[in-house]
Structures are given as C-alpha cells and as structure tokens.
Amino acid sequence: MQVEQQGQLICVGVGISIGAHITPIVKNTIAQADIVFAAASDGLFELWLQDIHPNVVSLQQYYSEGKSRKITYQEMIEALLEPVRQNKKVVAVFYGHPGVFVNPSHKAIKKAHDEGYQAHMLPGISAEDCLYADLGIDPGKYGCQHYETSQFMFYQRVIDSTAYLILWQPIFAGDRSHTIREAKSEYFELLKNKLYETYPSDHLVTIYQAATNAFDHQRSTKVKLVDLNINDISQQSTLVIPPAKSLILCQKMTSSLKKAKLLSVS
C-alpha cells in the first residue's frame, strides 16, 4: 500500500459571480494555501484572488491559438502537481463548480491520489445553479437532460421531448480538434438539423448566459429554433430547450401500483 505524502491538492469553485458566490470554507482554504492557481481568463478574477492570497499563478499561460486543449489540460495538471510533489498545499481555483465541465480538476485529483497525495474538491455555485434560478426552472417538474453540445452531436442519444434539453458550450458545436475558440456556422447548422429530428422548427428555445459579477445581469433570449443563429452565441452561452410535448402517464406502471396497493384507487 502506497504511503500518503504530505503534499495536498484542493480544487475549489468560487461560483459564477466573482466575490458574491464564494463560500466561507472555500475562502478559508484559499487563504491557507502555499500556492494558488487561477483557472480563469479574467484579469479581475486574478486581482480579486490576490486580495485573499498573495501567491497567485495563472493557468491561462498554457493556452495558445491553434493548440489542442487536451495538451493544455495536461500541462495544467502537471503545473498543479509539481508543487504538491514538493509537499506544498496547492489550491486550484475555478469559476463556478470545479467539477462541472472542468477537465483538469478531475484528472489532477486522480493523479494526485495515484501518487499517494491528499486531494479533494470543494463545490461552488455552477452555471447550472444560476440557470435554474434565473429562468425559473424546477428540474424536478419535468426533468432535465444535460449534454455537452459536441458530445450530443457525435453520439446517439434518446431525447425525451417531454423534459428540458440543456446543451452546454454550443460555441464548440461539432469540434473534434479541441482547438477552435469560435463557433463554425456549418457545424452549428448540423446541430440545428439534429434538433429538428425531435423539435418543430418554430419551437421556442432560450440562449442563456449567467451574470459573472455584481454589476452584470443574466441574459436570456428566446428565439424560434429556426431563427437560432451562431452569431448570437458566445463562449458563456448555454442553450435551453423546453419540453415540446406533455408528460404521458405510464398506464402499465399505474396499473401495477394499484394492484400492489401503493397507489390510491381514487
């Protein structure tokens, strides 16, 4: 059995709105770190972090034009683990929730565990949490299906049109290279064609973007599916497609429940 080392990695989420969503435990964890890594492209984000901890290193240095994000993520993982191997307490800070659409956090924690180091994750308010609040959606009412947009396109999925369909990162629709930073209109049209298989062309969908600071406002625009345009999509956009059909009662299950006396006959 491998002996646990003294180094430690903690991946934390500070929420979507800078300064407003951070939890006390996350703030305290950042303050007690030996070194803090910031995984955000916003300069204000790093300045805000420096008020909590003076030693902040940006992970944005590993991105470059035309470079595969897979390579970038691997370099980030190594950057996080290097000081851990020097027995330091490392905190990696991510927008939103550190485990939601964040590749390096999961892989870095797993690698740290494999090498015998302590590593865990502290949650934060994600864009999904903001979406439910801003759009007034209760995921328990009709149900929700969540997919990364390109994955939704590449694989066969059984879409339930009586539930919400939420597509994340539509800006990267159809990207297999992991290099594009802007959407390609031809890929986006293929996405729309796939949606036409389940939804009528005049079905209203919502382009949603959460507020990222106290001075910003959430943005939600409703358009017909046929009018959905790639130029209206940003890197922060999420596509929300409401149910197109009503829920259908399962008569077989209802009958079985009645027979089992688990459902009132009245």
- Beta pairing partners, 211: none
Q: Determine contact, residues 157/147, Cβ cutoff 8 Å.
A: yes
R_g (Cα) of the chain, nearest Å: 22
How far apart, in whole angstroms, are the C-alpha atoms of residue 13 and residue 95?
6
Say which of 69, 117, 187, 208 is annotated catalytic: 69
Say whether 73 is catalytic. yes
Query: Which among 95, 164, 187, 208 is annotated as catalytic?
Result: 95
CB 233 within 8 A of CB 188: yes
Residues pairing with 125 in the sheet: none
Query: Which residue among the candidates 62, 63, 73, 176 is catalytic per the annotation?
Result: 73
User: Up-side HSE of residue 112: CA atoms within 13 Å toward CB?
Assistant: 33
Torsion of CA 68, 69, 73, 78, to 10 degrees: 20
Instruction: Note if 147 is an active site residue.
Output: no
Yes or no: say if 27 and 52 are a contact pair by the CB < 8 Å rule: yes
Report the C-alpha gap between 75 and 27 in whole angstroms. Answer: 26
Q: Are strands 56-58 and 204-209 parallel, antiparallel or unpaired?
A: unpaired
What residues does 164 pair with on adjacent strands?
A: 144
Nearest to 159 by CA among 204, 127, 191: 191
240 closest CA partner among 195, 197, 177:
195
Please confirm, yes or no, whether 208 is among the known catalytic residues.
Answer: no
What is the arrangement of strands in the sheet containing 164-168, beginning at the earlier edge strand?
Answer: 144-148, 164-168, 238-241, 204-209, 219-224
Residues annotated as part of the active site? 69, 73, 95
